[in-house]
Amino acid sequence: MTTTSDVFDETVPPGEETSVALLEEEGDVAADYIEELLDIADLDGDIELDVRAGRAYVSVEASEGRADALKPLADPETVRALQELTRLAVQNKTGRFSRLILDVGGSRDTRQSELEALVARAIEKIDEGASQASLPPMSSYERKLVHDIVAERGFVSESYGEGAERHTVIRRG
């Protein structure tokens, strides 16, 4: 059983620093890697870097006037795969574990909206009399977002299961 405070199953190895300078370095390495991938795929994109909540965030947005240019890469499963490849590239270059977050073409905002709708439907089931509602398996980052959404709505959530089957269950507080 997992609570909001320990939803991340991606842990930083003991003694690993997460200073802003190291996270900025992760972002720079990730940006270089993503830039190379965009060049190979002949896609245009603007890359922005940020450090938030102990993670490097790398966002790729379509260049001015080319709103649909990144659409092939913005699918959530594709973004998840690109994120894992980028994390491996960063780890290979820096020798450090990376928990960076990648967003392509606003896919994170889109997924946030999808998760909010999923939680709303689950809460409707509870309001209609169900004792709890289970959500499908998702990544630790998505479960963290779900836990935050659920808490904002005054309900309680916990994660159950292992690996790819790890999912969130929502119930009244």
CB-based contacts of 99: which residues, under 8 Å, 6+ apart? 8, 10, 12, 54, 55, 87
Residue position matching structure tokens 């507080």:
173
Burial class (CB in 10 A: 0-12, 13-18, 19+), 157: buried
Q: What is the pTM of this model?
A: 0.70
Q: What is the pLDDT along the chain (173 residues), one digit of tens a residue?
A: 333 333 333 444 444 446 999 999 999 999 999 999 999 988 888 999 999 888 999 999 987 767 677 887 888 889 989 999 999 999 999 999 999 999 998 888 888 999 999 999 999 999 999 999 999 999 888 899 999 999 999 999 999 999 989 999 999 98
Question: Which stretches of the chain are DSSP H helices?
Answer: 20-40, 76-94, 107-127, 140-152
- Supply the DSSP symbol for 137: P
Query: In terms of Cα–Cα distance, which of 116, 105, 44 is closest to 78?
Result: 105
